[in-house]
Amino acid sequence: MDVLIQLGATLLNSIRDILPIMAVLIGFQLLVLRKPVPNPQRVIVGFFAVLFGITLFIQGLEMALFPLGEVMAAQLTNPDFIIQATGYTANQWQGYLWVYLFAAAIGFATTLAEPSLIAVATKAEQISAGGINALGLRLAVALGVSFGIALGTYRIVSGTELWMYIITGYLLVLIQTAFAPKLIIGLAYDSGGVTTSTVTVPLVAALGLGLASSVPGRSPLIDGFGLIAFASLFPIMAVLGYAQIAEWRSRTK
Amino acid sequence: MIRIKSGFLKQLFSSFIDLLPILVVVSIFQLLIIKQPFPDLANLITGIILVTLGLTLFMYGLELALFPIGDNMAYAFARKGSVFWLVTFAFALGFGTTIAEPALLAISLKAASIAAEGGVITNSQAAQDSYALGLRLTIAVSVGTAIIIGVLRILKGWSLQYLIIGGYLGIIIMTAFAPPEIIGIAYDSGGITTSTITVPLVTALGIGLASSIQGRNPVTDGFGLIALASLTPMIFVMLYGILI
């Protein structure tokens, strides 16, 4: 019964989120374009599928994954666990080895489940007539997120400045852009923004907050931020790199 | 009917495969490294079933509604040939989808409490609320602006690289002048503005535009809207931090 009540609340939230988008789409369709939508029944059915799909998805995440993620983040950053598992204390960056590994693993796994990335990868495969492989793209993005979040957790632990990492990252992206195949550039840039939505952000935010509140000298309010920035920067590098390697391989063949 | 059913089962299975890595990672860490049982196994299993069903329905609706809507509207605007209405639509879509984004609401409230703690604004509820609202409006306007720039880019055939490089330079310069408390929020705000519904719609819009305009290639010119939409908020938020 509780589940149903929660589902209802989540559904209301989803409707509230979708309303402005619906208003814009319907408003422009009726007032500006003044053309009927082709296959209106299909579109309406599809819209309801999206609405209920997102509702179930978020409800499921909130029941299963987010609380578990919070518990795990707290356990992995617990000083007792750190000494026991690594032999280092909570003051030393080496003590957080399992945190870095968890960050990398969960970043990889949640990215593969990210609905908007699946959507963009599917679209890219369709329009490139198979030239871009959807799964390959998703794996590249997941690797990028994985590395980015692991580095981001190290940054929180070590207390180094966020902007140094991000600006270095941008410079690397600029250099890569100069050498990467033209075809992939737009998609690579897009994949940075796509990765961080429904699944990854809440889990990663829990990890960042957990870390920032347990590492001595960090403030959760200030140091807890920045992980999402890492998670949107590194996929760009990974996708550009993936395209570069694919091009080299096809050239040497 | 049978065809729909087998398609549904296939999608259900592929959704489950997409979620499997999370289950593997969580189980290995929880059971082997933290060495604790799962706190609430019943909720976990119910949750996983809901997530799998939800992803399946979403993917089904994506192909049925979100992609076709984005495509059709792009073609209709291209046929109408009015740059004014296209630009207005682009802004409305960017602004409308961002202002309601729940992740944005959460982060702007957090930013307001940081600002209050840092003494940037007075530590009252009213001041924090107006700071948070200002931040949300700023980010929504910046996403609307980004979609306008992106759509104009597709129309005019501007090169995406130069826009992105310009944006990065903007971020680097703003970082030097922005108050340190706002930098983390600014960088993160780029990633959270693009939600699960916005991404497919905006992607389909860009690709639809690029395919309906002569001389544009959907692959090279169609992408890039999301990239711009995650870039401009960083600049605008730092600007907001400097001005307030």
B50 contacts on A by Cβ (under 8 Å): 56-57, 59-60, 63-64
pLDDT digits (tens, 9 = 90+) for A3-41: 788 888 888 888 887 888 888 988 998 888 887 877 889
The mean per-residue pLDDT over the stretch B156-185 comes to 89
What average pLDDT does the structure give for chain A?
A: 87
C-alpha span between A223 and A212 (Å, rounded): 6
pLDDT score of B1 more than 50: no
A243, two tokens? 């395209």
Interface contact A12, partner B, CB < 8 A: no
**Residues of chain B numbered 57-96 and touching chain A (CB < 8 Å):** 57-69, 72-73, 76-77, 80, 85, 88-89, 92-93, 96
pLDDT score of B163 more than 80: yes
pLDDT digits (tens, 9 = 90+) for A167-197: 899 899 999 998 998 889 999 999 988 877 7
pLDDT at site B5? 65
The mean per-residue pLDDT over the stretch A79-94 comes to 82
Please judge whether B199 and A71 are an interchain contact, meaning their C-beta atoms are less than 8 angstroms apart.
no
The mean per-residue pLDDT over the stretch B93-116 comes to 82
Share of chain B above pLDDT 70, in %: 98
Please judge whether A23 and B96 are an interchain contact, meaning their C-beta atoms are less than 8 angstroms apart.
yes
Report the candidate in B52, B3, B18, B240 with the shortest Cα–Cα distance to residue B136: B240
pLDDT score of A72 more than 60: yes
Contacts of A60 (CB under 8 A, 6+ apart): B46, B47, B48, B49, B50, B51, B52, B53, B54
Lowest mean pLDDT among A107-111, A166-170, A245-249, B202-206: A245-249
pLDDT score of A217 more than 60: yes
pLDDT digits (tens, 9 = 90+) for B38-63: 888 888 899 999 999 999 999 999 88
Kindly provide the ipTM of the predicted complex, given to two decimals. Answer: 0.87
Position B4 confidence tier, pLDDT thresholds 50, 70, 90: low
**Residues of chain B numbered 209-238 and touching chain A (CB < 8 Å):** 211, 218-227, 229-230
pLDDT at site B57? 93
C-alpha span between B206 and A142 (Å, rounded): 24
Please judge whether A20 and B114 are an interchain contact, meaning their C-beta atoms are less than 8 angstroms apart.
no
Q: Which residue of A has its CA nearest to B30?
A: A72
pLDDT at site B196? 80
The mean per-residue pLDDT over the stretch B114-126 comes to 81
pLDDT score of B32 more than 50: yes
B194 contacts on A by Cβ (under 8 Å): 116, 193-194, 196-197
Contacts of B149 (CB under 8 A, 6+ apart): B163, B228, B232
Position A81 confidence tier, pLDDT thresholds 50, 70, 90: confident
A52 contacts on B by Cβ (under 8 Å): 54, 57
The mean per-residue pLDDT over the stretch A131-148 comes to 93
Share of chain B above pLDDT 90, in %: 42
Report the candidate in B78, B218, B26, B67 with the shortest Cα–Cα distance to residue A39: B67
Q: Could you say which of B19, B53, B168 has the minimum Cβ distance to residue A113?
A: B19
pLDDT at site B187? 86
pLDDT score of B100 more than 80: no
State whether residue B193 is helix, strand or coil.
coil
pLDDT at site A69? 83
